[in-house]
Amino acid sequence: MYRGIGHSYIDRYDFQGAGFVLNPFGMCYKKYEDSSGNAYIGYANCSMYPDGSGTLYDLGVCVGKSGAHKVFRLSQGVDAFTWYLLNAFI
């Protein structure tokens, strides 16, 4: 993270450690903070199991005027609902 005189931005990132399987199709990234909002890197619908079963989470980091903030919440939205529905029959 870089925070200069102007807006903050994410110049590099790295995810380390075991625990969650990150879904590359669920990646969202905004490098620069601007008037419309914070910079962020995140992954939607992450599971702790390689087959994607179990509870899904949204994980990431937001970078803005007041520093960096983690994002860790239960997945929301139609995509998470659909995955839960389909996973029940697998």
pTM metric for this prediction: 0.69
Give me the pLDDT at residue 84, please.
Answer: 65
- In angstroms, the CA 36 to CA 18 distance is 33
pLDDT, mean of residues 5-23: 75
Integer angstrom CA distances of residue 7 from 11, 33, 61, 67, 84: 12, 6, 16, 11, 38
Question: What are residue 47's DSSP bridge partners?
Answer: 21
* pLDDT exceeds 60 at position 4: no
* pLDDT tens-digit readout, 15-69: 766 678 887 778 888 888 888 888 888 888 888 888 877 888 888 888 887 788 8
